[in-house]
Amino acid sequence: MTQREDDPRIGALTRRDMLKTGAAAGVSVAVAGGLSVGMTQVAHAASDTIRGYGTTTVQLKDWSLFNKSTGLTMEFTPTDANMGNFMRDVTVNEVGDTHDLFFTDGGTQYKLGPEGFYLIIDEQHPELVLWERTSDNYKRGYITQTPDGTQYGVPMVNNADSFGYWPEAIGVNPNGLEEVSWQKLFENEDTLNRASIDRNWLLTMPEVAFYMQVYGKAEIVDNANLTPEEAKAVGDWAIERKQAGQFRTFHTGFEEQVQLLGNREVDIINCWEPATKNVNAEAGADVVRYAYTVEGYFKWGIGAYIPTQAADRDNLDNIYKTLNYFLDGEYRAFQAIERGYGGPNLDLGVKYAEEVGWPADQVAAVDAVQKKVDTKYEKPFWENLNPDHQESMEEEWQRFLNA
């Protein structure tokens, strides 16, 4: 999990993205996830309610578990996966005035930490009791630190994304253990007009570029940080595949992933792993699979970050109690069983599942998650939240969608 110091995300989160919506000129911008324009942002005092803001990926399906374990209540304001929206909400809309914790992909701390939007984590805080036993492989590195080792976050979940599929439809072993090539998604006669890819350029374009890079279809140095010339090559090739009829449709968001795969409108789809779990919950255990791939994965991790404004409120003890909960067994077990996500201290997740009497197969499933994530993390590639030539990548991807 520890990322190299030459991680392409270092320094990539620019003020351009914080300000390009007009905020530099003082224009008011709506907050994603339901906070309204011009809302009064009043700092709240010490409270048993923790107000979280960020990606829904880290949510518990039932926050009453958190309440029973900690005595605290979680009020969660979701945002979408658009990192520009998140950055703007933190830097311009000042959501830290009204929220106690941010939940987002690793990488934002490279800019938001040094620029004063995140507090440095107090590793000795008495409520953060599980910090010392948490592996450095998780608590240090790209999810939580800056290259100089400053600790701005606490790790929550991680995974390596690929694609979901109906095994018999694409001609692979139904046990789900066979490594499947991305070729099945992007250029395969068996899946012609039976594939769906995400409309989001930030997710899908690096995957297409990665496939092209591996098989020599274009000269690409960093598939997640394309130059304008590389982006055009990816756009050209993707248009060829679109015109060949490879893609039945393009999807947006989690619910559509579940619908397309579950209704068998497509046989293969680049999606989040929980989408396959939702399909299997309705259609039967393991009828669809989430791919181990031949080439690699879209690897990511999410951390929790404390807004600087929290220092002025008398609520840090409860904030750190919440952070500690994310390192403990209950949270780990439910993220593993419900979403297939790994994270720190998964051994405590196994212990929790055993102690509360989960069935043996569910205990085994929790135990298997970390082995799965560790196996996938041995292969490339890492997400890049904000590529150097973002505009070129967006433009080329839009050209592909419009073709």
* HSE (side-chain half, CA atoms, 13 Å) at 225: 18
Residues 83, 166, single domain; the answer is no
Q: What is the pLDDT of residue 319?
A: 98
- Identity of residue 148: D
Q: What is the pLDDT of residue 44?
A: 47
Helices then strands (H, E): number in the chain?
Answer: 16, 11
- Of 3, 119, 23, 82, the C-alpha closest to 386 is 82
Does residue 8 carry a pLDDT above 80?
no
Residue 103: φ, ψ to 5° = -125, 115
Burial of 323 (0-12, 13-18, 19+ CB in 10 A): buried
User: What CATH code is carried by the domain that includes residue 38?
Assistant: 3.40.190.10
Residues 24, 171, single domain; the answer is no
> Does 337 reside within a domain?
no
> Does 309 reside within a domain?
yes
Burial of 28 (0-12, 13-18, 19+ CB in 10 A): exposed
Strand partners, 73: 49
Strand partners, 160: 299
Residues 304, 290, single domain; the answer is no
Q: What is the DSSP letter of 48?
A: S
Does residue 223 carry a pLDDT above 90?
yes
pLDDT, one tens digit per residue, over 161-218 is: 999 999 999 999 999 999 999 999 999 999 999 999 999 999 999 999 999 999 999 9
Q: In which band, very low, low, confident or very high, does the pLDDT at 42 lie, cut at 50, 70 and 90?
A: very low
Does residue 355 carry a pLDDT above 90?
yes
Token couple for 337: 């069983």
- Of 66, 32, 27, the C-alpha closest to 49 is 66
pLDDT, one tens digit per residue, over 292-323 is: 999 999 999 999 999 999 999 999 999 999 99
Q: What is the 3-state secondary structure (H, E, C) of 293-339?
A: ECCCCEEEEEEEECEHHHHHCCCHHHHHHHHHHHCCHHHHHHHHHHH
18 versus 191: the higher-pLDDT residue is: 191
The least confident of 10-24, 35-49, 73-87, 281-295 is 10-24
Does residue 28 carry a pLDDT above 50?
no
Does residue 3 carry a pLDDT above 50?
no
- Mean pLDDT estimate for the chain: 88
Q: Domains in the chain: how many in total?
A: 2
Give the span between the Cα atoms of 162 and 94, in whole angstroms.
Answer: 34
Q: Which residue range is the domain that position 245 belongs to?
A: 160-297+384-402
Residues 221, 283, single domain; the answer is yes
Length of the chain: 403
Residues 256, 175, single domain; the answer is yes
Residues 204, 263, single domain; the answer is yes
374 versus 3: the higher-pLDDT residue is: 374
Q: What is the DSSP letter of 92?
A: T
Q: What is the pLDDT of residue 46?
A: 62
> Does 371 reside within a domain?
no
Residues 49, 126, single domain; the answer is yes
> Does 1 reside within a domain?
no
Q: What angle do CA 88, 90, 94 make, to 5 degrees?
A: 110
> Does 362 reside within a domain?
no
Q: What is the pLDDT of residue 84?
A: 78
Q: What is the pLDDT of residue 45?
A: 52
Residues 96, 129, single domain; the answer is yes
Give the span between the Cα atoms of 188 and 314, in whole angstroms.
Answer: 58
Residues 112, 191, single domain; the answer is no
Q: What is the pLDDT of residue 85?
A: 85
Whole-angstrom CA distances from 78 to 40, 104, 327 are 19, 11, 21
> Does 85 reside within a domain?
yes
Tell me if 249 sits within 8 A of 222, measured CB to CB: no
Q: What angle do CA 371, 376, 382 make, to 5 degrees?
A: 135
Residues 254, 142, single domain; the answer is no
Does residue 24 carry a pLDDT above 60?
no
| Separation of first and last alpha carbons in the chain | 38
Q: In which band, very low, low, confident or very high, does the pLDDT at 69 lie, cut at 50, 70 and 90?
A: very high
> Does 176 reside within a domain?
yes
Q: What is the pLDDT of residue 25?
A: 31
Residues 223, 174, single domain; the answer is yes
